[in-house]
Amino acid sequence: MLVPARRSADVPALVGWVYGGPVPLLTALLRSWEERFGARGVAAYGGEVLVSVARPPLDPAQAEQLALEHVLSTADNIVDDPPTPFPEYARGLVGRTEWRFWWD
């Protein structure tokens, strides 16, 4: 569905999304990523959120900070599924233009 919102970060709260982590935290993270990385939520279905990233991190230190923020999202694919070592996960964010999060 299309949702009238000024920012894609606000959509989970506007539609009353209840499938994942705490919506106020997720909205705050999405807003920050929107400002810093040009990230836009492009889809949400069930317990999954897909984010398109216009300016992904190119610096390993920036990717490590972002990886910590991904952990804060409490998404199961980041925290539990699969158990990817943190340094490997952070390196994988360098230049990556799509982020997926899901909650079981």
Cα–Cα distance list, 98 to 8, 22, 26, 45, 49 (Å): 15, 21, 16, 16, 11
Residue type, 27: T
Share of the chain above pLDDT 70, in %: 98
Residue 100's pLDDT is: 94
Tally of CA atoms within 13 A in the half-sphere of 82 that contains its CB? 4
pLDDT digit string, tens, across residues 68-92: 999 989 888 888 766 778 899 999 9
Tokens 């997926």 correspond to 100
Which residues are bridge partners to 39 per DSSP?
53
d(CA 58, CA 63): 7
d(CA 97, CA 29): 16
Check whether 2 has a pLDDT greater than 80: no
Residue 99's pLDDT is: 97
d(CA 79, CA 85): 10
